[in-house]
Amino acid sequence: SQKIEQNSEALNIQEGKTATLTCNYTNYSPAYLQWYRQDPGRGPVFLLLIRENEKEKRKERLKVTFDTTLKQSLFHITASQPADSATYLCALDNTGTASKLTFGTGTRLQVTL
């Protein structure tokens, strides 16, 4: 069966450190993978998209890697800040048409002073 797995345990890190979140998937062949941020009681906010032919994507303090052999994406936040505290979701579209996003359960990140 198809699965998207993110570490369900919260990740606690100190301000200034790099946070690394993992997204593993099975029985998918996604053309691309997306990362979203979700704050409590709010809808997700798009952060980054990485395509299957891209190894790495960067946006300001964010970096995403995509390894289609390992079926894994890593999401990094460098120089983390308390304002980065939120739940981060990865999402896949198996159709390649952006028509059906399937989300992981998300990993809660807590950045402390």
Partner 1 sequence: GAVVSQHPSRVICKSGTSVKIECRSLDFQATTMFWYRQFPKQSLMLMATSNEGSKATYEQGVEKDKFLINHASLTLSTLTVTSAHPEDSSFYICSARDRLVPHSYEQYFGPGTRLTVT
Residues near partner 1 (CB under 8 A) are: 4, 32, 34, 36, 41-46, 49, 89, 93, 98-106
Query: In the complex, what is the shortest distance from the CB of residue 100 to partner 1, in angstroms, rounded to a whole number?
Result: 6
Tokens matching residue 91 = 């999402």
Query: In the complex, what is the shortest distance from the CB of residue 108 to partner 1, in angstroms, rounded to a whole number?
Result: 9
Q: Which is nearer to partner 1, 78 or 99 (CB)?
A: 99
CB 111 within 8 A of CB 81: yes
CB 90 within 8 A of CB 6: yes
Q: Which is nearer to partner 1, 77 or 90 (CB)?
A: 90
CB 10 within 8 A of CB 109: yes
Please tell me what DSSP assigns to residue 18: P
Query: In the complex, what is the shortest distance from the CB of residue 36 to partner 1, in angstroms, rounded to a whole number?
Result: 8
